[in-house]
Amino acid sequence: LDPEEFRRQGYMVIDFLADYYRNVEKYPVRSQVKPGYLRERLPESAPSDPEPIETILEDVQNEIIPGLTHWQSPNHFAYFPSSASIAGILGETLAAGFDVVGFNWMSSPAATELETIVMDWLAQMLSLPKSFMFAGNGGGVLLGTTCEAILTTIVAARDRVLHRIGRESIHKLVVYGSDQTHCSFHKSAKIAGIHPNNIRKIKTTKSHAFGLAPESFRLAIEEDLELGLVPLYLCATVGTTSTAAIDPLGPLCDVAKDYRIWVHIDAAYAGNACICPEFRQYIDGVEKADSFSFNAHKWFFTTLDCCCLWVKDPNALVKALSTSPEYLRNKATDSKQVVDYKDWQIALSRRFRALKLWLVLRSYGASNIRNFIRKHVDMAVLFQGLVAKDERFEIVVPRFFAVVCFRVSPAAILKQLYSSCHQHCPKSVGDDSVNDVNQELLESINAGGRMYMTHSVVDGAFVIRFAVGASLTERRHVISAWLIVQEHAHAILGRKNC
């Protein structure tokens, strides 16, 4: 690794990325390539001789960029955001540059210690109780994804209970979520050895805004107890993936406490907003939970991957996940004065993720990060207002954060059918037809490439999600996005005949 060559190529890569950001708005937001496009364009085998960075970057421009969906485009309103920032990208670069493998304290003390400090700082910003912080005998860890946070905490809860009731009872353990809980919960439970029949997806309803009703949770537990099963774990969500719905944490934790159930709170997306005092209420009750996680790589201007997990009882993680091969033995570990994060996660090796979070926190400061998030929410409010003013559309669920769920209303479709009717006009329009219109609308917008949104289906209704959160998005992008939606809706409704 020649430092001068590194400097030369490094400048070129940063220049390349700076140009990418300058031009990102010009690219079609959703990639327009066909499956297999890249195999057609790249050689069949790896080059046997070195190639210059100039040629490689040319190929990144010509072959790779067309196959990117531009998450950092100001017109990306799909999924949940992935908000990059200068500090996030450069923090990632620094960590990659050092390339330390911080599995335990000794393997890179700064990596471990910075992580404990940053996790305590974040806990303070979220007003988490002291019991989640190192000073309160809890603590935080940076993982890659929420899936890992759920898996590690299920495994910790599982082993704690199996220690009491015997390993042979694993088939009796039951875990609970709602029909809105992210699929990573199901996957994690399966990996943790929970029998697939014992993974509950409790039904939510529109009348509870798709939050998990505590009484439904209690009912499910009681039914399982009657069957001789052992309730283990609840994954409650603040900001569900479909509609950003909120499970009522306090009452759910109260139910869980009666049955000694581990409660994990998955606030992958919405947890970011909870650093703002006005949104903190949505995690009220967190003080009664066992663990809490959010993805800083979603809405905290930190690059993927960066999931922040806090637990009240790190020992439960360590008991379930610790390994102590001879080659890792060292005095610091033996002294029990240090955190060895390898025992808080699945893998042994780990990245120096704390560096990018530290850069983000220091470069912007808590108040600016809060203001960025508020600006995104304000833009979602703006979009919601535009939707509400157009009688052809309806808002499907209440908006809490920066996601607006909307659709062309059944009434608008019926009205269109009437206006084109010559004889036997229907009295109502079926759910499938409404869904078809909305699906067609979304696909036609996304195929155009000027903006990108995604959908969900709740209570049988196909819903279009408009999620604001890209770092470059401004009000003008939101306004033009709405004009695009109207333009496509006009064309599609105009083609509907009775």
C-beta closer to ligand PLP: residue 212 or 268: 268
**Residue 249 binding ligand PLP, by CB under 6 A:** no
Q: How far is the CB of 35 from ligand PLP (least distance, A)?
A: 22
Q: How far is the CB of 144 from ligand PLP (least distance, A)?
A: 7
DSSP code for 495: T
**Residue 184 binding ligand PLP, by CB under 6 A:** yes
C-beta closer to ligand PLP: residue 141 or 408: 141
* Structure tokens, 379: 């833009």
Q: How far apart are CA 158 and CA 175, in angstroms?
A: 10
For residue 295, what are the β-bridge partners? 307
For 132, 158, 277, 293, the CA distances from 264, given in Å and listed in that order, are 12, 13, 22, 8
Residue 426: partners with Cβ closer than 8 Å, 6 or more residues away: 414, 417, 498
Residue among 241, 272, 384, 438 that touches ligand PLP (CB under 6 A): 241
For 21, 40, 395, 409, the CA distances from 431, given in Å and listed in that order, are 42, 42, 16, 10
User: Binding string, 140-179, against ligand PLP, x = CB under 6 A?
Assistant: -----xxx--------------------------------
Of residues 392, 448, 453, the one with CA closest to residue 419? 392
Residue nearest ligand PLP (C-beta atom)? 145
**Residue 302 binding ligand PLP, by CB under 6 A:** no
Residue type, 482: W
User: By the 8 A CB rule, do 204 and 211 touch?
Assistant: yes
Q: How far is the CB of 46 from ligand PLP (least distance, A)?
A: 30
C-beta closer to ligand PLP: residue 204 or 241: 241
**Cα 182–chain centre separation:** 9
Of residues 148, 152, 200, 202, the one with CA closest to residue 173? 200
Residue among 93, 204, 291, 295 that touches ligand PLP (CB under 6 A): 295
Of residues 221, 224, 233, 304, the one with CA closest to residue 266? 233
**Residue 229 binding ligand PLP, by CB under 6 A:** no
Q: How far apart are CA 316 and CA 159, in angstroms?
A: 8
**Residue 454 binding ligand PLP, by CB under 6 A:** no
H helices then E strands: how many in the chain? Answer: 17, 11
Residue among 182, 356, 477, 496 that touches ligand PLP (CB under 6 A): 182
User: By the 8 A CB rule, do 95 and 355 touch?
Assistant: yes
Tell me whether residue 494 is exposed, middle or buried, using C-beta atoms within 10 angstroms of its C-beta: 0 to 12, 13 to 18, 19 or more.
exposed
C-beta closer to ligand PLP: residue 266 or 394: 266
**Residue 268 binding ligand PLP, by CB under 6 A:** yes
Q: How far apart are CA 150 and CA 158, in angstroms?
A: 12
User: By the 8 A CB rule, do 404 and 395 touch?
Assistant: yes
**Residue 294 binding ligand PLP, by CB under 6 A:** no
Q: How far is the CB of 94 from ligand PLP (least distance, A)?
A: 22
Query: Of the listed pieces 222-230, 261-269, 330-338, 469-477, which binds ligand PLP according to CB under 6 A?
Result: 261-269
C-beta closer to ligand PLP: residue 75 or 241: 241
Q: How far is the CB of 357 from ligand PLP (least distance, A)?
A: 15
Binders in 47-86 for ligand PLP, by CB under 6 A = 80
C-beta closer to ligand PLP: residue 149 or 414: 149
C-beta closer to ligand PLP: residue 230 or 238: 238
Q: How far is the CB of 281 from ligand PLP (least distance, A)?
A: 18
Q: Where along the sequence are the contacts to ligand PLP (CB under 6 A)? A: 80, 145-147, 182, 184, 237, 239-241, 266, 268-269, 295, 307
